Amino acid sequence: MFAKILIANRGEIACRVIRTARRMGVRTVAVYSDADAGALHVEMADEAVHIGPSPVGESYLRGDKIVAAALATGAEAIHPGYGFLSENPDFVDQVTAAGLVFIGPLAASIRAMGLKDAAKRLMEKAGVPVVPGYHGEAQEIVLLASKAREIGYPVLIKARAGGGGKGMRRVEHPDDFSEALSGARREAKAAFGDDRVLVEKYIEKPRHIEVQVFGDIFGNVVHLYERDCSAQRRHQKVIEEAPAPGMTPALRKAMTEAAVKAAKAIDYSGAGTIEFIVDASQGLKADRFWFMEMNTRLQVEHPVTEMVTGTDLVEWQLRVASGEKLPKTQSEITLSGHAFEARIYAEDAARGFLPATGTLHHLKFPDTAPEGASMRIETGVQTGDAISPFYDPMIAKLVVHGKTRPAALEALGIALSQTEIAGSTVNTAFLAALAADADFSAGDVDTGLIGRHQQVLTAVSPPSSEIVAAAALAASGAGAHAPTDDPWSSLAGYAHFHPIARRTRLRYGENEILAHVSVRPEGRFQVALDAPYDSALDLRAAGLARWPGHVTVFSGAVGYSFAVPDPLAKADEIAAGADSLRAPMPGLVKLVRAAKGEAVIKGQPLLILEAMKMEHTISATHDGTIAEIATEGAQVTDGTVLVRFAEEAHG
């Protein structure tokens, strides 16, 4: 076994690898960028090496710096985690050329599966079923459009060099093909440096079911059963589970056998995932699944497999990479219970899942698992950390296990309701709504479920009078001298015969709220609110967090954040109005589709903003004439004016 390894990653996966390595007595080396100097993975590792500025191209994608760090610290092997360089065969070559061990498959195996089109041709030869489509080398638009017509609409355009939904477009009609192809190519080029695509038949009720495989250098390959990752939004997984609901013995046998066959076809060693698309329109059948792609690395959702099989896949990775045989044979790997993983992101579900930034002023996960369940919290952040625009906005993965699917799902809902995050917009309310969705609860899930139910799943009820009152109480100064996590311990201001009322202002969204707070006997408070809220309430403490200029009140999985205006601060006179469009998040102006002086109409696309490696279209909110517009290539921050309209637009 290795004495020391370097982890070429950051965030929760780096922390995850460190925990297993520590348990096995293996020392760890972390690498970090400027933005991650104080990160949790740096704190947890035995050693840490700075590798460059915050942008990934200058740090976490610099294979030369990472190899140099490993050599300088005496590490024997490099664990790539997932993302970044984990599926880059050239990096594997760099690692092995330096005399180090890459904790993962051979470069040849990664190359074989790295391009979707070539991988599908290889799978066809190996007898693994593949989705009907065009996987050829020619990329002329006329040819691709012709192939799309042959396949039959709707079709899916997919970047051949990557995954995660980047460079992917669903096309319903031939007239939309050219525009969708251009967008997919731009996004693929930005994310993977390769704008080539493939075109496939779009399955109307697709399930995304994947099989965890593991191989060693002795030619042994096993599977650890399947995961269902069908709950997706914009092709990004949201909640994953194992095993797949509704799985039949016949389909499991056919799918796992195909997965093992696929891994053996490329002499695979290490952890890998064979992803299949399943047509669920007539139930799960053994002849209605097709190979989609292989991820030649550990998956984000690997904990659900660990929970139902009782394995530590990172330990397996270290053992296999150090030359050992697989820890278990196929007959020794069994399923037990059911597990869910919910990905907690800094994002605004109500605004189309826009990535969010901010400082995590309050971060609290459940202390114990719900009764009858077990739980894991996989995170790479802690209270006080900032969500950076440079990296994926994942905050944590909440993983639960129960004896049955209903028991595990109930535990997931409870754990989400006990999770408190303030300082950034997060998706916990959306995750809780999805977990409670009738179709999802019944296991009737496909990749379109979130899209069909999105309006309901992302809707957040306005704060009740009790929630507003709790926020006003905290903002009024009650408990002002107490610790941040206990704002209720002070009763300053209480007068027995004539309670003193404190006048407090709050802002929730665009709404200004005026409240009068009085301290009552026995630790109670009276809050008088203006309409439309109840006129007066008598309440005790509520779960909340105070952070600079704000108060967040938690109700189930929802966190209601209120701004607390500083009465001494000068009013901000530079507000975003109808005469301008501002950046909803930090990003890069990728493409400008209008010009200064041009007359535009409501809904017309004006520019494309790239953020978190995804493209977001900024469209005109009304008819008007453009007075100013951002330039292509401009890096903008949240709130930057992108488009300004001429005054006559509202005259």
Please say if the pLDDT value at position 637 is more than 50.
Answer: yes
Average pLDDT over residues 532-558: 80
Please say if the pLDDT value at position 337 is more than 70.
Answer: yes
Average pLDDT over residues 324-339: 98
Q: Which amino acid is at 551?
A: V
Lowest pLDDT segment from 43-57, 236-250, 282-296: 282-296
Residue 161 per-residue DSSP state: T
What's residue 516's pLDDT?
85
Are 559 and 421 in contact, with CB atoms under 8 Å apart?
yes
Q: At what angle do helices 249-265 and 116-126 cross, to 10 degrees?
A: 110
Please say if the pLDDT value at position 649 is more than 70.
Answer: no
pTM confidence score: 0.81
Please say if the pLDDT value at position 392 is more than 60.
Answer: yes
Are 124 and 130 in contact, with CB atoms under 8 Å apart?
yes
Please say if the pLDDT value at position 648 is more than 90.
Answer: no
Are 478 and 500 in contact, with CB atoms under 8 Å apart?
no
Please say if the pLDDT value at position 421 is more than 60.
Answer: yes
In the block, tokens 């092709």 appear at 235
Lowest pLDDT segment from 17-31, 90-104, 351-365, 393-407: 351-365
Please say if the pLDDT value at position 32 is more than 90.
Answer: yes
Lowest pLDDT segment from 309-313, 464-468, 578-582: 578-582
pLDDT-based confidence at residue 540 (cuts at 50, 70, 90): low
**What distance in Å separates the CA atoms of residue 274 and residue 292, rounded to the nearest whole number?**
8
Please say if the pLDDT value at position 331 is more than 90.
Answer: yes
* Collapsed DSSP state (helix, strand, coil) of residue 49: strand
* Collapsed DSSP state (helix, strand, coil) of residue 518: strand
* For the chain, percent of residues with pLDDT exceeding 70: 90
Please say if the pLDDT value at position 319 is more than 80.
Answer: yes
- The 10s digit of each residue's pLDDT in 82-134 is 999 999 999 999 999 999 999 999 999 999 998 777 888 899 888 899 888 89
Average pLDDT over residues 20-47: 97
Please say if the pLDDT value at position 569 is more than 70.
Answer: no
Average pLDDT over residues 44-50: 98
**What distance in Å separates the CA atoms of residue 328 and residue 29, rounded to the nearest whole number?**
29
- The 10s digit of each residue's pLDDT in 291-302 is 989 999 999 999
pLDDT-based confidence at residue 166 (cuts at 50, 70, 90): confident
Please say if the pLDDT value at position 558 is more than 80.
Answer: yes
What's residue 368's pLDDT?
94
Q: Which residue has the higher pLDDT, 27 or 288?
A: 27
Closest CA to 297 of 272, 317, 318, 279: 272
Kindly report the number of other CB atoms within 10 A of residue 548's CB atom.
8
Q: Which residue has the higher pLDDT, 413 or 650?
A: 413
DSSP string, 304-352: HHHHHHT--HHHHHHHHHTTPPPSS-GGG----SEEEEEEEESEEGGGT
What's residue 610's pLDDT?
80
Please say if the pLDDT value at position 523 is more than 90.
Answer: no
What's residue 640's pLDDT?
85
Are 640 and 582 in contact, with CB atoms under 8 Å apart?
yes
Strand residues in 550-629 grouped as ranges (E): 550-555, 558-563, 580-582, 587-592, 599-600, 605-611, 614-619, 624-629
Nearest 5°: the CA angle 450, 454, 460 is: 130
* For the chain, percent of residues with pLDDT exceeding 90: 69
Average pLDDT over residues 446-455: 94
What's residue 526's pLDDT?
81
Please say if the pLDDT value at position 6 is more than 50.
Answer: yes
Catalytic: which of 27, 160, 169, 297?
A: 297
Average pLDDT, the chain: 89
Please say if the pLDDT value at position 481 is more than 80.
Answer: no
Q: Are strands 635-636 and 101-102 parallel, antiparallel or unpaired?
A: unpaired
Average pLDDT over residues 357-382: 95
Residues 6+ apart with CB under 8 A from 213: 221, 222, 223, 224, 259, 260, 262, 263, 268, 271, 272, 273, 274
What's residue 387's pLDDT?
92
Output phi, psi for 343, to 5 deg.
-90, 115
Burial class (CB in 10 A: 0-12, 13-18, 19+), 6: buried
Are 399 and 304 in contact, with CB atoms under 8 Å apart?
yes
What's residue 574's pLDDT?
34
pLDDT-based confidence at residue 529 (cuts at 50, 70, 90): confident
19: annotated active-site residue: no
**What distance in Å separates the CA atoms of residue 462 and residue 483, rounded to the nearest whole number?**
28
Kindly report the number of other CB atoms within 10 A of residue 590's CB atom.
18
Strand residues in 216-328 grouped as ranges (E): 221-233, 236-242, 270-279, 289-295
What's residue 493's pLDDT?
45
Lowest pLDDT segment from 7-16, 74-83, 98-107, 605-614: 605-614
Please say if the pLDDT value at position 363 is more than 50.
Answer: yes
Q: Which residue has the higher pLDDT, 261 or 495?
A: 261
Average pLDDT over residues 556-582: 68
- The 10s digit of each residue's pLDDT in 130-155 is 888 898 889 999 999 999 999 989 99
Please say if the pLDDT value at position 479 is more than 70.
Answer: no
What's residue 260's pLDDT?
97
**What distance in Å separates the CA atoms of residue 97 and residue 92, rounded to the nearest whole number?**
8
**What distance in Å separates the CA atoms of residue 585 and residue 576, rounded to the nearest whole number?**
14
Average pLDDT over residues 291-316: 97
What's residue 500's pLDDT?
58
Q: Which residue has the higher pLDDT, 185 or 521?
A: 185
Average pLDDT over residues 454-460: 94
Residue 438 vs residues 182, 257, 553: alpha-carbon distances, Å: 38, 32, 27
Closest CA to 68 of 17, 6, 10, 15: 6
Please say if the pLDDT value at position 572 is more than 70.
Answer: no
